[in-house]
Amino acid sequence: MADLFTPPWWASNPHIQTILPFVFKVAKPDTFRQRQELDDGDFIDLDWLGNPQNGEPILVIVHGLEGNVESHYARRMLIEAKKAKLCAVVHHHRGCSGEPNRLARSYHSGDINDLAFTLQQLKQYYPDSELYAVGYSLGGNVLAKYQGTLKNNSLLSKAVVISAPLTLSACAKKLEHGFSKVYQSHLIKRLQKKMLGKVNNVDLVDQMPIGKEDLKKLTTFYLFDDQVTAPLHGFDGVDDYYDRASGLKLLKHITKPTLIIHAQDDPFMTDAVIPTKDELSTAVEYELHTKGGHVGFIKGGWPWKPQFYIEKRVLDFIFSQSNNPN
């Protein structure tokens, strides 16, 4: 397959592709918030672009680790959805919408239940609307896992998975080396701060698997996931979590049209995330680009005003008739 994406000369470096979009964020369109109460006493926040009407399509945006509606990729997708007159909604993972979630548990790379709940709610209130979804990084792995687990019962007509860590163990190891450690350090500090808030909460401290001093020592994803993520969410250690939460082995079970996009130079990943032909179902279209970084894919413009590949590709895939196997 010919490479559909080619970066400009000034953005051929994977770290420029990864960092520059974060630095030069576009303005976000106006959104309004809807809170969903969950059966376990927690909540999920949805941020809506436009007023949904039954019968009109809805695009669900699933953000990455510690992301939210303000993330650079979510902002750009909302802008392009608005131009296309497509109603869109950002599904926030627990505790990511600016307010701590109520329970000791949080969210993780393999948790499809909260996304499933959101989609079920959308289908209940908008039964005649086509539902689409785009997931980024951790959110992409969640989306791929949802598609592969639900198969024909997926409520999505189409899905797009971008820069997903489909093999979590390999990605965790990658982030312990070279410049990738910078990304790990940034994200770990945010996770530690969030968990510290729960450790300091008198209503939650007894349910936390780790204390304040030990939390500071968890400087890698492997350690954090072993000591916090796994025990908080019912896994038997980090290796069990990585094995059961990774989306790669479920790609062959996907039955609804799904586009997966990776960059081979992604500083968060290794070739272990790249599926073989035998690991893909006929419903999956796979794009592997030589360059693009992590959720970057700058295709042109200038460093202070970059242009991007992903958003148009998402909309082209959603609205195309050729990629529907039915």
Query: How many C-beta neighbours within 10 Å does residue 190 have?
Result: 12
Task: Label residue 120 exposed, middle or buried (CB < 10 Å: 0-12, 13-18, 19+).
Answer: exposed
At 2, the amino acid letter reads A
CA angle 274, 242, 208 (to 5 degrees): 145
169 is catalytic: no
Query: What is the bridge-based pairing of β-strands 298-302 and 305-308?
Result: antiparallel
- Of 319, 320, 315, 248, the C-alpha closest to 286 is 248
Distance from C-alpha of 266 to C-alpha of 26, rounded to nearest angstrom: 22
**Catalytic pick among 93, 169, 266, 289:** 266
Distance from C-alpha of 142 to C-alpha of 112, rounded to nearest angstrom: 6
Q: How would you write 178-191 as a 3-class SS string?
A: CCHHHHHHHHHHHH
**Catalytic pick among 72, 91, 92, 294:** 294
Distance from C-alpha of 228 to C-alpha of 221, rounded to nearest angstrom: 10
At 28, the amino acid letter reads K
The pair of three-digit structure tokens given for residue 172, joined into one six-digit string: 């965790």
294 is catalytic: yes
The pair of three-digit structure tokens given for residue 9, joined into one six-digit string: 């000369």
Q: Which residue has the tokens 């974060």?
A: 22
**Catalytic pick among 137, 169, 180, 246:** 137
User: Do the beta carbons of residue 99 and residue 156 sit within 8 Å?
Assistant: no
Distance from C-alpha of 18 to C-alpha of 23, rounded to nearest angstrom: 10
Q: Say which DSSP state 102 is in.
A: S
Give the distance from CA 207 to its chain's centroid.
27
63 is catalytic: no
Distance from C-alpha of 36 to C-alpha of 92, rounded to nearest angstrom: 10
Please list the active-site residues: 137, 266, 294
